[in-house]
């Protein structure tokens, strides 16, 4: 299937390449602005620019604000008879949210969300920094979400909104930013569906790290 083949390209490393593509969109847009007033001889480039938005099929859309990947607004997980509840989540990302958690540099303004099984979740992801951040969920059923992932990425000081539906199982899903070192430095959270399945380690404000740093402040 063409769409799936396209999706499979988006490994973690490819996201960096995607970032470059987003930068590319900016430069194309700037180029188009400069060309305004000229004759329409650059229509081909305009068309090219348009084609880059959402060029990987219906499961991914991208523009200069960021992207949403593997969105699912209406396909029910097979273990759900209906949508149980509509959940709206607003998440902010930025270095300022790390301040209250020693040892972190990046952060979300919340690190845990609790929802009912089979809920449909609309996530508005707002990036307060000047760098890219992501809100990425792992462990979703792969027949609905390629590689079990739902992913929103917001470019610097932009926001992006996406929708997905969780299955009926009680489970604790990892949510993080996959940009290098952002999770390790605090951008780690959990989505608890139903009763969940225990807290994940190293969630700021929620759980202790699995392997605690053995630093000592005293000199001996």
Interacting residues toward Cu ion by CB under 5 A: 133, 177, 179, 182, 187
Closest CB to Cu ion among residues 70, 133: 133
Report yes or no: 209 and 105 within 8 Å, Cβ to Cβ.
Answer: no
3-state secondary structure of 162: strand
Residue 77 or 186 having the CB closest to Cu ion: 186
Give min distance, CB of 33 to Cu ion, in A: 29
Provide the sign of the torsion angle of the four alpha carbons 103, 180, 155, 92, taken in this order. negative
Degrees to nearest 5, angle at CA 66 with 37 and 200: 175
Backbone angles phi, psi at 85, to 5 degrees: -160, 155
What does the CA dihedral 150, 155, 161, 165 come to, rounded to 10 degrees?
A: 10
Query: How far is 74 from 92, CA to CA, in rounded Å?
Result: 25
Nearest-approach distance from CB 131 to Cu ion, in angstroms: 7
Q: Which residue is nearest to Cu ion (CB)?
A: 177
* CB 155, CB 64: distance < 8 Å: yes
Provide the token pair at 137. Answer: 């969920």
Minimum CB distance to Cu ion, residue 134 (Å):
6
Q: How far is the CB of 163 from Cu ion (least distance, A)?
A: 21
Min dist CB 54 to Cu ion, Å, is: 23
Q: How far is the CB of 127 from Cu ion (least distance, A)?
A: 8
Which of residues 22 and 187 has its CB atom nearest to Cu ion in the complex? 187
Among candidates 57, 78, 77, 80, which has minimal Cα distance to 69?
A: 57
Is the Cβ of residue 16 or residue 29 nearer to Cu ion in the bound state? 16
For Cu ion, the closer of residues 165 and 179 by Cβ is 179
Closer of 3 and 12 to Cu ion (Cβ): 12
Nearest to 208 by CA among 188, 194, 192: 188
């Amino acid at each position: 299937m063409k769409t799936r083949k396209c999706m499979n390209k988006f490994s973690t490393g490819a996201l960096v390449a995607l970032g470059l593509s987003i930068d590319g969109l900016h430069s194309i847009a700037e180029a188009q602005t400069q060309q305004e007033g000229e004759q329409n001889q650059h229509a081909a480039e305009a068309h090219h620019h348009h084609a880059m938005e959402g060029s990987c099929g219906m499961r991914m859309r991208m523009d200069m604000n960021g992207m949403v990947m593997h969105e699912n607004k209406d396909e029910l997980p097979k273990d759900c008879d209906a949508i149980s509840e509509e959940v709206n989540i607003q998440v902010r990302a930025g270095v300022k949210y790390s301040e209250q958690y020693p040892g972190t540099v990046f952060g979300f303004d919340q690190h845990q969300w609790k929802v009912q099984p089979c809920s449909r979740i609309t996530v508005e992801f707002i990036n307060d920094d000047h760098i890219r951040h992501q809100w990425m969920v792992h462990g979703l059923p792969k027949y609905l979400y390629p590689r079990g992932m739902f992913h929103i990425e917001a470019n610097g000081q932009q926001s992006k909104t996406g929708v997905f539906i969780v299955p009926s199982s009680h489970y604790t899903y990892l949510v993080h930013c996959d940009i290098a070192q952002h999770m390790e430095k605090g951008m780690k959270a959990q989505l608890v569906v139903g009763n969940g399945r225990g807290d994940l380690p190293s969630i700021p404000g929620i759980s202790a790290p699995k392997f605690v740093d053995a630093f000592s402040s005293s000199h001996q």
